[in-house]
A and B are shown apart, each in its own frame.
Chain A
Amino acid sequence: MLSIKNLDVSIANKEILKDFNLEINEGEVHVIMGTNGVGKSTLVKALSDHYDCEVTKGEVTFKGKDLLELDASQRANEGLFMSFQNPVEVHGVNNMYFLKSAVNEKRAYKNEEEVNSAQFLKEVKDIIKKYNINNEVIKRNVNEGFSGGEKKKNEMLQLLVLKPDLIMLDEIDSGLDIDAIKLVANAVNSMLDGKRSVLMITHYDRLLELIKPDFVHIIKDGKIAKSGDYNLALELQKRGFEGLGEDNESS
Chain B
Amino acid sequence: MKNETINNVIQNDYSLGFETIVNSDTFPKGLNEDVIKAISAKKEEPQWLLDFRLKAYKKWLTMEEPNWAKLGYDKVDYQDISYFSAPKKPIGSLDEVDPEILKTYEKLGIPLEEQKKLAGVAVDAVFDSVSVKTTFQKELEELGIIFCSISEAANKYPDLLKKYLASVVPYSDNYFATLNCAVFTDGSFVYIPKNTKCPMELSTYFRINALNTGQFERTLIIAEEGSYVSYNEGCSAPIRDDSQLHAAVVELVALKDAHIKYSTIQNWYPGDKNGKGGILNFVTKRGICKGDNSKISWTQVETGSLVTWKYPSCILKGNNSSGEFYSVALTSLAQQADTGTKMIHIGENTKSTIISKGISALNGSNAYRGLVKVAKSAKNARNISACDSLLIGSNCSAHTYPYQDIKNSSAKIEHEATTSKISDEQLFYIRQRGISEENAVSLIVNGFCKDVLEELPMEFAVEAKALLDVSLEGSVG
Q: A interface vs B, CB < 8 Å?
A: 48, 50-51, 71-73, 76-77, 81-82, 84, 87-93, 98, 101-102, 105-106, 109, 141, 158, 162
Contact = CB atoms under 8 A, between A and B. Distances in A.
B238 to A, nearest CB: 34
7 contacts: A51-B1, A51-B428, A76-B434, A81-B432, A90-B429, A90-B447, A101-B443
A90 B451 CA distance: 14
Given A84-B429, A88-B425, A102 B435 contact: yes
B449 interface: yes
Contact of B434 (A51, A89, A90, A105): A105
A76 B433 contact: yes
B430 interface: yes
A48 B434 CA distance: 11
A51 B430 CA distance: 13
A92 B449 contact: yes
- Top 3 closest pairs, chain A to chain B, by CB: A92-B447, A76-B434, A93-B447
Contact of A162 (B429, B434, B440, B447): B434
Given A92-B447, A92-B448, A93-B444, A106 B434 contact: yes
Contact of A72 (B432, B450, B451): B432
Interface of B: 1-2, 423-426, 428-437, 439-440, 443-444, 446-451
Contact of A87 (B429, B431, B436, B443): B429
Contacts of A91: 444, 447-448
Contacts of B443: 90, 93, 98, 101
A51 B437 CA distance: 13
Contacts of A48: 428, 432
A208 B447 CA distance: 38
Contact of A51 (B2, B433, B451): B2
Q: Which of B423, B431, B444 has the most chain A CB atoms closer than 10 A to its own CB?
A: B431
Contacts of B426: 88-90
A101 B432 contact: no
Contacts of A90: 426, 429-430, 443-444, 447
A105 B439 contact: yes
Contact of B431 (A73, A93, A162): A73
Given A90-B444, A91-B447, A141-B447, A101 B431 contact: no
Given A73-B434, A88-B425, A88-B429, 6 more contacts: A73-B436, A82-B432, A84-B432, A87-B429, A90-B443, A162-B434
A93 B434 contact: no
A90 B444 CA distance: 7
A76 B447 contact: no
Nearest to A158: B433
Contacts of A89: 426
Nearest to A107: B434
Nearest to A94: B447
Contacts of A162: 433-434
Contacts of B440: 73
A174 B250 CA distance: 58
A44 to B, nearest CB: 10
B314 to A, nearest CB: 26
Nearest to B453: A92
A109 B434 contact: yes
A72 B428 contact: yes
A146 B48 CA distance: 65
A162 B439 CA distance: 17
A93 B424 CA distance: 17
A76 to B, nearest CB: 4
A72 B431 contact: yes
B206 to A, nearest CB: 30
B439 A101 contact: yes
Nearest to B435: A105
B435 A73 contact: yes
B430 A105 contact: no
A92 B436 contact: no
Nearest to A144: B447
Contacts of A105: 434-436, 439
Contacts of A77: 434
Contacts of A93: 443-444, 446-447
A158 B429 CA distance: 12
Nearest to B426: A88
Nearest to A83: B432
Q: Which of A72, A76, A105 has the most chain B CB atoms closer than 10 A to its own CB?
A: A72
A93 B423 CA distance: 15
Contacts of B1: 51
Nearest to A48: B432
Contact of B428 (A50, A81, A98, A109): A50
A105 B432 CA distance: 12
B436 to A, nearest CB: 5
Contacts of B448: 91-92
A175 to B, nearest CB: 18
A155 to B, nearest CB: 10
Given A51-B428, A90-B426, A102 B450 contact: no
A158 B434 CA distance: 11
Contacts of A141: 447
A1 B433 CA distance: 20
A73 B437 contact: yes
Contacts of B450: 92
A76 B446 contact: no
Contacts of B447: 90-93, 141
Nearest to A88: B429
Given A91-B447, A98-B443, A141-B447, A76 B432 contact: yes
A166 to B, nearest CB: 13
Contacts of B451: 92
Contacts of A92: 446-451
A72 B433 CA distance: 9
Nearest to B433: A102
Contacts of A72: 428, 431-432
A109 B435 CA distance: 10
A74 to B, nearest CB: 8
Nearest to B357: A92
A202 B49 CA distance: 80
A135 B199 CA distance: 39
A215 B193 CA distance: 79
A77 B432 CA distance: 9
